[in-house]
């Protein structure tokens, strides 16, 4: 069984293609190619049918007015930034006074402890043990944080599974799930695509941390923390390839 | 996803033509899926009412089915040209009956294909069912997902325009859209 993934630059089995077809955004030749592919691909027929239903349903729903929570013009942005800055300042001042108070209490506590330590040898041992326990807890917290940085992101994992659809593009580097010790050792290389593409890198929480128009080969100069990262190569119209790498 | 991949058969065009000649039901359903969209889109551009477009399309596919065994097609474009020639005759036939009233009955704007596809089947009952279902599923999305989907599909903005309007990065918009589409598709397929 061979599933033809792309032809003449048009990628099939792709949400953008279904969407483009329904919204009439494909060129005449792309439309012809897709229709011919559609004729023998039941997977695309099913996906197209769902996309049509979704678009029809959304088109029929009443339009939401401009009260979008995260849509704001520059004027409201200034107000929001001012409020955020004031809150941050307030928080900073409170933290300063709180820490001062905490240090004073600590000094008093240390004096009391000193007298106790002098009087009993056992209590000293107890203190040492508690310090040891604390440092182990800290270590396990660090481990937990590190584990979180390698936690796979289901959205991107799904994108990799369903969208290793590089079409005519051939990815040479990095290999899928490549492990590198430092991000500056990471190079990106591909073939069969002459124009410049946009390289986008996301961390495992889906936050975009790098975006640049690049051409092959490209060496990443940014320092990335240890963790799992996802990367995409994008042409102006679509995402051509989704991969992942680990900084260990 | 993997299940649907399994049912995909590697039929090339010639295999399909052979099956169509044998009046294979599955092959005809596949051809119908594509031809329906092509012909209805072409008829919509003539600003025909959806019910009239659907009537002409039904007559077209009936002729194609009737004559298919006698025909030879080496490419999909050849098959498409033949379908269009039948459809054109059916349009002429349609207007011939009462040209004046039917010309006046045309729409002012080109109806969108997704409306035509769903509104012409079962007298619009399928359409209301689909619309209500998607509308309910759409309401289950998060606020940001709703905003993105509204801009992209209701207002037909591009990714770039939508991201500028929402004041977010285009990459993040793509992720939000991807997530929303996955949710809607899953809910829709599983009848939630």
Picking from B45, B80, B99, the residue at the C-terminal end of a domain is: B99
> Whole-number mean pLDDT of chain A?
70
Q: Are residues B92 and B124 located together in one domain of the fold? A: no
Taking the Cβ of residue A202 and every Cβ of chain B, the question of whether any pair is shorter than 8 Å is answered with yes
What region, left, alpha or beta, does residue B49 occupy, with left being phi > 0 and alpha being psi -120 to 50 degrees? beta
Q: Are residues B84 and B135 in the same domain?
A: no
Long-range contacts from A46-52, C-beta under 8 angstroms, 24+ separation: A46/B4, A47/A13, A47/A15, A47/A18, A47/B185, A48/A18, A48/A21, A48/A22, A50/B184, A50/B185, A50/B188, A50/B189, A51/A15, A51/A18, A51/A19, A51/A22, A52/A22, A52/B113, A52/B114, A52/B117, A52/B118
Neighbours of A87 (CB within 10 A): 10
Distance CA A54, CA A143 (A): 43
A positions 4-43 inside 8 Å of B (CB): 15, 19, 22-24, 32, 35-36, 38-43
- CB of A74 within 8 Å of a chain B CB? The answer is no
The pLDDT tens digits for B87-142 are 999 888 887 776 556 666 676 776 666 666 665 554 555 566 777 788 888 888 99
Closest residue of chain B to A207, computed from CA coordinates: B172
Run of H or E residues at B127? helix B125-139
Q: Are strands A239-247 and A178-180 parallel, antiparallel or unpaired?
A: parallel
Q: How do residues A108-157 score in pLDDT, each as one tens digit? A: 444 544 444 444 445 444 444 444 444 555 556 666 777 788 888 766 77
Give pLDDT, residue B149.
Answer: 92
Residues B95 and B8 in one domain: yes
Put simply, the answer to whether B115 touches A56 (Cβ < 8 Å) is yes
- Please compute the mean of the pLDDT values over residues B148-174 and round it to a whole number: 90
Instruction: Check if the beta carbon of residue B53 is closer than 8 Å to that of residue B43.
Output: yes
* B149 compared with A96, residue with greater pLDDT: B149
The answer on B119 and B180 residing in a single domain is: yes
In the block, residue with structure tokens 């309401």: B139
Long-range contacts formed by A82-91: CB under 8 A, 24+ apart:
none
pTM of the predicted structure, to 2 decimals: 0.53
Candidates B23, B40, B24, B50; CA nearest to B120 is B50
Same domain membership, residue B7 and residue B83: yes
Tell whether B67 and B154 lie within a shared domain: no
| Claim to verify: residue B123 and residue B186 sit in the same structural domain | yes
The last residue of a domain, from among B99, B126, B146: B99
Q: Are residues B54 and B127 in the same domain?
A: no
Binary contact (A70, B76; C-beta < 8 A): no
Which residue range is the domain that position B41 belongs to? 3-99
Residues B9 and B84 in one domain: yes
Q: Do B119 and B89 share a structural domain?
A: no
pLDDT band at B162 (very low <50, low <70, confident <90, very high): very high
Residues in Cβ contact with B17 at an 8 Å cutoff, skipping those fewer than 6 apart? B73
CA distance A48 to A40: 13
- Provide the CATH number for the domain around residue B77: 1.10.1740
Final residue of a domain: which of B35, B67, B99? Answer: B99
| Residues B69 and B140 reside in one and the same domain | no
Q: Give the closest of A22, A45, A162 to B33, CB-based.
A: A45
Question: What DSSP assignment string belongs to B59-113?
Answer: HHHHHHHHHGGG---SSHHHHHHHHHHHHHHHHHHHHHHSHHHHHHTS-SSPPPH
Chain B contact present for A75, CB below 8 A: no
- What one-character DSSP code corresponds to residue B121? G
- Domain tally, chain B: 2
What count of other Cβ atoms lies within 10 Å of the Cβ of residue B54?
20
Residues B82 and B119 in one domain: no
Low-confidence ranges of chain A (pLDDT < 50): 1-3, 66-76, 108-110, 112-121, 123-134, 163-166
Asked if the Cβ–Cβ distance from B10 to A1 is below 8 Å, we say yes
Q: Are B33 and A41 in contact (CB under 8 A)?
A: no
Q: Measure CB to CB from residue A1 to each of B8, B77, B131 and give the nearest one.
A: B8
**Do the Cβ atoms of B178 and A63 come within 8 Å?**
no
């Amino acid at each position: 069984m061979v599933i033809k993934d792309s032809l003449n630059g048009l990628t099939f089995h792709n949400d953008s293609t279904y969407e483009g077809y329904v919204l009439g955004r494909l060129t005449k030749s792309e439309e012809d190619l897709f229709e011919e592919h559609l004729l023998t691909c039941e997977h695309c027929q099913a996906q197209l049918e769902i996309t049509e239903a979704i678009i029809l349903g959304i088109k029929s729903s009443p339009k939401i007015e401009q009260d979008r929570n995260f849509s704001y013009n520059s004027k409201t942005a200034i107000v929001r930034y001012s409020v955020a800055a004031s809150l941050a300042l307030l928080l900073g001042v409170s933290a300063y006074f709180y820490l001062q108070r905490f240090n004073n209490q600590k000094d008093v506590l240390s004096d009391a402890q000193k007298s106790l330590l002098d009087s009993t040898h056992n209590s000293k041992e107890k203190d040492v043990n508690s310090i040891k326990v604390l440092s182990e807890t800290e270590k396990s917290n660090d481990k937990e944080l590190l584990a979180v940085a390698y936690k796979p992101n289901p959205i991107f994992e799904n994108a990799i599974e369903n969208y290793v659809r590089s079409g005519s593009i051939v990815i040479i580097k990095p290999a899928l799930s490549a492990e590198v010790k430092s991000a500056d050792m990471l190079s990106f290389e591909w073939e069969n695509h002459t124009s410049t593409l946009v390289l986008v890198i996301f961390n495992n929480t889906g936050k975009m941390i790098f975006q640049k128009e690049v051409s092959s080969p490209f060496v990443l100069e940014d320092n990335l923390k240890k963790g799992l990262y996802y990367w995409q190569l994008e042409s102006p119209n679509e995402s051509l390839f989704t991969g992942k790498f680990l900084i260990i | 996803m993997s299940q649907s991949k399994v049912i995909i058969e590697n039929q090339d065009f010639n295999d399909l033509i052979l099956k169509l000649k044998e009046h294979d039901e599955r092959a005809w359903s596949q051809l119908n899926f594509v031809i329906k969209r092509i012909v209805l889109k072409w008829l919509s551009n003539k600003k025909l009412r959806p019910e009239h477009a659907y009537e002409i399309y039904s007559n077209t596919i009936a002729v194609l089915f009737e004559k298919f065994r006698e025909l030879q097609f080496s490419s999909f474009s050849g098959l498409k040209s033949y379908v269009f020639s039948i459809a054109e005759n059916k349009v002429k036939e349609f207007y011939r009956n009462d040209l004046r009233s039917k010309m006046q009955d045309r729409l002012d704007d080109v109806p969108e294909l997704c409306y035509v596809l769903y509104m012409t089947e079962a007298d619009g009952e399928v359409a209301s069912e689909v619309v209500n279902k998607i509308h309910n599923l759409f309401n289950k999305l998060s606020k940001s997902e709703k905003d993105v989907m509204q801009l992209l599909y209701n207002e037909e903005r591009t990714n770039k325009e939508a991201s500028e309007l929402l004041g977010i990065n285009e990459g993040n918009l793509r992720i939000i859209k991807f997530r929303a589409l996955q949710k809607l598709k899953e809910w829709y397929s599983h009848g939630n």
